[in-house]
Chain A
Amino acid sequence: MTTFLKALGNLFRTPATVPYPFAPTYLPDTYRGLIKHDASLCIWCRKCETACPPGAIVFSQAMDGKQAYHYNTHVCIYCGECVRACPKAGALIQTNEMAAPVTAEAKINHSWNGIVKEALAGREAYAAERRKAAAAVAAAKAAEKAAAEKKD
């Protein structure tokens, strides 16, 4: 009898489901969402890049030594390891914002792989340049020293 009355009562109850996307779904403040990077606070130690399990963060480096942060929201698994690895408070924070769904136009895999490849090559070129400059400085110093010795 109680079951029957309950079933009748259910006819007048509001649905248990949420009419998403017309109404928001449950999203707590503690939701693990997008990672935000603050370039003004970042000390460019690349610890987040090393810690990231899927490799969603990569730093590129221009020939003048300036670094830039690249982040792929679709590769990211939102685990927050980068935020925990970050030694500078506030440089990386995890928001409760959801990532936008991926579209075909974004060509995420192709363009992201390109960015990673370019970033690594750029870093390698910069390091080679630095090594070359250091070698030139060392050679100049050695030549100077040899010249000074010759004078004596």
Chain B
Amino acid sequence: MKRTLTIPMGSQHIALLEPLHFRFTCENEKIVGVDADVGYVHRGIELACASKFKFRQVSFVVGRVCGLCSISHTTAYSQAAERLLGLDISKKAKYLRILVIELDRLHSHLLCLAHTAENTGFEALFMQIMRDREASMELLELVTGNRVQFDYSCVGGVTRDITTDIEKELTRKLAKLKTDLEELYEVFRTNWSLSLRYKGVGALNAQQIKELNAVGPLARAAGVAIDVRSDTEDLLPWKEVGYKMMVEQTGDVYARNIVRFREMFNSFEIIENVLRGMPQGDLVTETKANPQGEAVSRLEAPRGELFYYIKGNNTPVLERVKIKAPTFSNVAAFIEIFKGQEYASVPPILASLDPCLSCTAR
């Protein structure tokens, strides 16, 4: 006998990292309809950036949009503001930005993988990943001065330099983290229990990804090779520091985990290259001009393409700041991905999508 049930999930739920509300319509165990509400953490940051704060201060305000990709927001905004001001920042500042963005990618991806393991019911793996992740958090604290709010990029460059001591510590801790990750990679690839919950679950194909406009690891796991790092060489020299596109084909939870792991291994290479080839130069390029005109900037945050649009009117306060976060682009895919799945698969799928609602609702 077929029975239709409506099951609400969120906005507060044990399997959710962030306030997100889903309403699943299920026929027995199968999900047939999904409704999502993503606007629980709206804080009016865009308006605050365009009314209360001067354009130099805005890079610190947008860093508070998200706790996981703070550096992506500050860097994307700073790049847009630099375009408006016609500033050409030093190569050293660009390298330091890449360093922190990649360290941030490590800790963000590890958090996502840890929660995917936890939502699957593998608590021990969750704890193991969170323990290993601590190394990346400590490195971020060492380089930027804070675990979460990095405040590293500012309009014109970066706020602080790295010393030889920091470099040594980075090399030492990253080597340890890399061996830890190789062990975890093995578990995610070969563990039979995990494969039952991951392989073939929550899959989207390349055609659907393109139709739904999904970005980030979600798209790359389904064989769609899109990454801002591969097509914006003008803002940050990604190819020079050894960036490689990581693509998987199956598009399920398993593929998304593997894409994240492979990206993290690529991050180690990038960080190594950045440290080895660190050029000389100024940290900050100063200017006294006010922003005038319009500019956009794109950056690959851990979750996908982050987009900033800013408009200045030759006063210290901007006229408009528009933030489009990667999760916002992925919401349509979230809804589609659940259709036809078992209700019990919802937590691992949701964690593997790595939703960031603070970014989305701003």
Contacts and interface: CB of A to CB of B under 8 A. Distances in A.
B146 A81 contact: no
Given A28-B142, A30-B142, A53 B149 contact: no
Interface residues of B, number: 21
A18 to B, nearest CB: 10
Contacts of A77: 60, 64, 149, 151
Contact of B56 (A26, A51, A80): A51
B145 A53 contact: no
Contact of A53 (B57, B141, B284): B57
Interface string A114-133: 00000000000000000000
Chain A contact residues: helix, strand, loop or mixed: loop
A84 B159 contact: yes
B199 interface: no
A81 B223 CA distance: 43
Interface in A29-66: 30-32, 51, 53
B60 A53 contact: yes
16 contacts: A28-B141, A30-B141, A30-B143, A30-B145, A30-B166, A32-B146, A32-B151, A51-B56, A51-B57, A53-B61, A80-B151, A80-B159, A81-B56, A81-B57, A81-B154, A84-B284
A73 to B, nearest CB: 15
A79 B56 contact: no
Contact of A79 (B60, B141, B142): B60
B228 to A, nearest CB: 26
A30 B131 CA distance: 22
Contacts of A78: 145-146, 149, 151
B134 to A, nearest CB: 8
Contacts, number: 48
Contacts of A16: 131
Contacts of A30: 141-143, 145, 160, 166
A28 B151 CA distance: 16
B286 to A, nearest CB: 10
A26 to B, nearest CB: 5
Interface of A: 16, 26, 28, 30-32, 51, 53, 77-81, 84
Contacts of B154: 81
B53 interface: yes
Nearest to A32: B145
Given A28-B141, A32-B151, A77-B151, A53 B53 contact: yes
B138 interface: yes
B148 to A, nearest CB: 11
A26 B146 CA distance: 11
A53 B56 CA distance: 9
A32 B63 CA distance: 15
Contacts of A28: 138, 141-142, 145
Nearest to A53: B57
Interface string B71-96: 00000000000000000000000000
Nearest to A83: B159
Interface in B143-162: 143-146, 149, 151, 154, 159-160
Closest 6 CB pairs of A and B: A32-B145, A53-B57, A79-B151, A53-B60, A28-B142, A16-B131
A26 B138 contact: yes
A31 B56 contact: no
Given A31-B141, A53-B57, A79-B149, 14 more contacts: A26-B138, A28-B141, A28-B142, A28-B145, A30-B141, A30-B166, A51-B56, A51-B57, A53-B60, A78-B146, A79-B60, A80-B145, A80-B159, A81-B56
A55 B307 CA distance: 28
